[in-house]
Structure 1
Amino acid sequence: MEENNKGLAMLAQVARGLVAHDAQQTSTQLGDRTTYVGMSDIGKGAECLRAAVAGKLSLHQKPTMQDIAEWFRAGEYDRIRSSLRRNLILQRGHWMENGFAKVLNANGANLLHQLEITVEHDGVPIRAHLDFTLVWGWPRPAIRILELKTTERIPDTLYAGYETQLYGQLGLLKTYWAKPVFAMRDADGSIVFEHLTFPQAAKLVFGISLPREADKLDMEGWVLCLSMSDARAFGPYRPDTAMLGMCQRIAGEIWTTAHQIQTGETALSGVPYCTGFHPLCDWCDHAEGCPKFTAQELDDPAYDQSLEDLADLKASKAYLEEAISTEEERIRSFYAATASVGDSPGWLQTAGFRFKVVEQAGRKSIDSAKLDAELRNELGDEEAESLLARITKTGKPSHRLYVSPRISHQSQGMTS
């Protein structure tokens, strides 16, 4: 096996492990998600009902460990890489969540990790899993819900789905505070407690006595966004009856619509979808076949604004690259002038930096035309072409985004 194939085999093993871990994590912590509407379903439904319903129907079949093994044998390495990238992003959230739980525990917090609330509203089974619930009994009873989101870049404002998810958690916690609907499992999925009220759970786990009525304590929710190098807390959010009602309505729509599709009363193609631009559409498991991506004309101005923003960013990039080049050349010239006065000064130091200029050897490259001619002279045309074919390496296919202004759009802009 070639070295490159050995590397691909290693990546395939990692991809298989991620698939297995995801299936185990879902089973032990979330159970069968087709049997209830979760808070993440409701958050997704607030922005795209179609995606939430399709997820509830499990229309997207995730790759299995066997699939990845077959892809490797068939040489379908791009599919392995796609599965690997997606699962790395999904698992990143679980890994950071587990690490963050250790951080909170190290801080001495009274922490409930993945607290579960199971209720039924108008015949719709609803289940919430709260990432972190912090409990204080003194000096004033207080509850803080932390919903953890991991992102490549910290957003300036929260997605509506994230806020909806947190409002649903807060609403259920307050509304069902004194009902025996709370449960929690450990990392292996074993039950820590179940069928308790929240005050009973707090007494059992922490020995803290909380009021029997949720109105008698301070309750807040926060969304904590983490990247690999930054963090930001959005909040506080407080229980809101109207927002809980909206969450319950969305849950009903998801549950009812999924049932209607299963019985043939309606089709997924007729379910409302997110028509505006949304970054999460890039990661949607149900984008294929979505009417949003089959339309040719995009009327929503958000798309135009996004492309305009991209053009502005590229212009800024060009300006910054030119400014960097100019500044570097100025500093190099200053160094050269300093060196011409006497011996090379080596490092020059300022209050915050040091710098020097060193000469580097030029890059070596092969003159392909000259090589071709030399090989033909030495080996003959046929053998030369055969040798060149054997040593020629083709790069991986890539995708290129082409963006150009429309003439009609430009004309409209000039006349308006």
Structure 2
Amino acid sequence: MRSLGICEVKTTSQIPDEPYDSWVTQLYWQMGLAKLAYPEANIRGTILAVDLNTGDIREFNGFTPSEVIFDMLIDKAHNIWAAVNGESTPDCEPSLLCGFCEFREDCPVFNRDNLPEDVWKTVHLFAQLKEQRDELETKLEPLKESILKYIGTNKFSATNSDLGLTVTVMAPRLAEFVDNKRLKEELPDIFEQYKQIREYPASLRVYHKKTKSNGGE
């Protein structure tokens, strides 16, 4: 019996713990098409995720064709084709990919208040990495203090060719700034004349919501 392997390769900026639903759907589509072409073949599928930032590679395997899932995908394809021809309304499914769509604000299924599963998976991954970063920063601070205690705080630079490392120190420095609050209150005309408008990008916070514990009677 012929054996076929289907590999869906995905590039990402951070490999998730579990493959995104869209990745799995695409793999089932590929396996279903292969099953139509080679009905007697033993078909197995895998998802190969590649982190473009670090070069890490992770494989999610163990997938086999599913007639039920493939029939659902066929129905979805028929719906999309009918919508393209103006015969029906598309049955849309919000996902992380909506973030790249320029028409999402007018889309009837796009809802910021109801995040889809793959968005929550990304939020969870973000929270995990942030916790790792916070833990690393806690460990880095005493190491930095130990190095500065030895080297001192004057301007300094040294290189270790064997390790391929360079360490530098920037001496303490003073910075001048204007008290905007006082300037606005005491010299409002000057403040208005020289103020500058700066646009800041959107910020993102992900944190564990504290739950109130039930007290005893």
Give the TM-score normalised by structure 1: 0.36
Given the alignment, which residue of 226, 233, 244 partners 2:50? Answer: 226
Task: Render the CA deviation track for 1:16-52: whole Å, top value 9, x for unaligned.
Answer: xxxxxxxxxxxxxxxxxxxxxxxxxxxxxxxxxxxxx
Q: Check the 8 A contact 1:332/1:357 in 2, yes or no.
A: no
Q: Does structure 2 retain, via aligned residues, the 8 Å contact 1:170–1:220?
A: yes
Q: 1:15-414 counterparts in 2 under 5 A?
A: 141-177=2-38, 214-215=39-40, 217-228=41-52, 229-259=55-85, 262-263=86-87, 271=91, 273-274=93-94, 278-291=95-108, 293=110, 298=114, 314=130, 317-333=133-149, 335-336=150-151, 359-362=169-172, 367=176, 397-401=199-203, 403=205, 413-414=212-213
Cα distance in 2, alignment partners of residues 169 and 368 from structure 1: 60
CA distance 1:305–1:415, change in 2 (3 Å): farther
1:273 aligns to what SS in structure 2? coil
| Cα separation, 2, equivalents of 1:299 and 1:218 | 37
Is the CA contact 2:29–2:73 (under 8 Å) kept in the aligned structure 1? yes
Please report the RMSD computed on the Cα atoms of aligned residues, expressed in angstroms.
4.6
For the residue of structure 2 that corresponds to 1:153, the secondary structure is: coil
How much has 1:167 moved relative to structure 2? Answer: 2.0
* Contact 1:154/1:225 (8 A) holds in 2: yes
Deviation at 1:309, TM superposition (A): 7.2
- Identical-pair percentage: 23
Structure 2 distance, partners of 1:413, 1:305, is 25
Are 1:167 and 1:243, in contact at CA under 8 Å, matched by a contact in 2?
yes
Return the offset for 1:226.
Answer: 1.9
Q: Which has the higher helix share?
A: 1
Superimposed CA distance per residue, residues 365-387 of structure 1 (whole angstroms, 9 cap, x where no aligned partner):
5x466xxxxxxxxxxxxxx99xx
Q: CA deviation at 1:235?
A: 1.9
Alpha carbons of structure 1 residues 165 and 156: separation in structure 2 relative to 1, 3 Å:
same
Native 8 Å contact 2:10 2:50 kept in 1: yes
| In 2: Cα distance, 1:313 partner to 1:323 partner | 15
Number of residue-to-residue matches in the alignment: 195
Whose relative contact order is higher, 1 or 2, with alpha carbons under 8 Å and at least 6 apart? 1
Tell me the CA shift for residue 404 of structure 1. 9.1
Q: CA deviation at 1:303?
A: 7.9
1:157 Cα shift?
Answer: 1.4
- Distance of 1:255 and 1:151 partners within structure 2: 29
- Paired residue for 2:186? none
Letter in 2 for 1:147: E
- The CA deviation at 1:363 is 5.2
Would you say the 8 A contact 1:154–1:232 is kept in 2? yes
CA distance in 2, matches of 1:414, 1:305: 27
Q: Which amino acid aligns with 1:283?
A: F
1:357 deviation in Å? 6.0
Q: CA deviation at 1:166?
A: 2.0
